[in-house]
């Protein structure tokens, strides 16, 4: 009986596992991303040059 339960448990665990990778979806508008980027610059987390580069990448990503 124990080998049967072991095989059953292994089968159930294998059925529950998955190799599928699910990417999170982003529902943040471009405007909100730009606001967040500006806040990062204003707080000193980004330099002027980094801010310009990131802003350009965001804007180019929607074109």
pLDDT tens-digit readout, 20-61:
777 777 688 999 999 999 999 999 999 999 999 999 999 998
Handedness of CA 51, 52, 58, 59 (dihedral sign): positive
Candidate from 5-9, 13-17, 24-28 with smallest mean pLDDT: 13-17
Domain-by-domain residue ranges, the chain? 28-63
What is this structure's pTM? 0.57
Nearest-angstrom CA–CA distance, 33 and 30: 5
CA angle 27, 30, 36 (to 5 degrees): 95
């Amino acid at each position: 009986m124990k080998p049967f339960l072991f095989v059953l448990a292994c089968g159930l665990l294998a059925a529950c596992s998955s190799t599928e990778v699910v990417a999170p979806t982003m529902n943040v508008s471009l405007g909100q991303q730009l606001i967040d980027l500006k806040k990062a610059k204003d707080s000193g987390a980004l330099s002027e040059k980094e801010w310009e580069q990131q802003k350009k990448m965001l804007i180019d990503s929607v074109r």
